[in-house]
Amino acid sequence: MAFTRIDHIGIVCHDLDATVAFYTDTFGFELIHTEDIESQGVREAILRVNGTDDGALSCLQLLTPLHEDSAVSRWLAERGPGVHHIAFGTDDVDAAAGELGRAGIRVLFDPPGTGSRGSRVTFLHPKDCHGVLTELVTLP
């Protein structure tokens, strides 16, 4: 198993438009994608932090709940806005999740599901990752 990059850091917020404006106006990050992900009950905005010659990007993923009963809505109610998760890129999310699962890490989406931009994603339980909700991402 190999991670290829830090794909993004997920940040939960109450007001997506205001949070996008903060990061674009204050730091000059570029809004490159927005999407409603009904299966996860979130609306997201992807902000490009930088890019590299090989096409990999470093991004922030800003998330706001679509529904009051979504996991992100519960997160906001319990913890307030802030860092939600870190996502690592991998060439094969299925193989990486399988290897980590065999090592005793709880894999939350088994099999991996569809994330934004047509990606394949799964999450690792934060109690098995030193308190950090960890996402694995394979881009199309």
The catalytic residue positions are: 8, 44, 61, 85, 135
Cβ(70)–Cβ(7) under 8 Å?
no
Backbone angles phi, psi at 121, to 5 degrees: -140, 155
Distances (CA, A) of 63 to 13, 56, 66, 116: 6, 21, 9, 12
Four-residue CA torsion sign, 35, 36, 40, 41: positive
